[in-house]
Amino acid sequence: MSSPENTPTETEIEAAVFRKLLAHLDERKDVQNIELMNLAGFCRNCLSKWYRAEAEQRGVALEDAEARERIYGMPYSEWKARYQREATPEQRQAFEQKS
């Protein structure tokens, strides 16, 4: 875990890792958000909320749609229409049990 006094190099590394995570998720559009939530406890929407919160802490105002577009690489409505599948009953049940 990094310290609050990140060095510029640490910040650059963390930013690069974040960009790789986004690229990986972009390459794996087949992995649904509910699957991420069930397995890892976070999803693309969580990342967009964290992104927006961190931006706001730094005085940068972002709408939800803007933050989601940065995470999804396109407007959320477009991503959802193209790639999101209906959750299976098993996926919904697993999600509800963890909530």
| Amino acid at site 97 | Q
In this predicted model, what pLDDT tens digit does every residue of 39-69 receive, in sequence order?
999 999 999 999 999 999 999 999 999 999 9
User: Residue 2 corresponds to which tokens in the numbers above?
Assistant: 């990094």
CA proximity to 85, closest of 41, 31, 22: 31
Domain boundaries, the chain: 8-98
Q: What is the pLDDT of residue 4?
A: 62
Q: What is the pLDDT of residue 1?
A: 54
Which CATH code is given to the segment(s) 8-98? Answer: 1.10.3340.10
Average pLDDT over residues 1-25: 88
More confident residue, 3 or 27: 27
The predicted model scores a pTM of 0.88
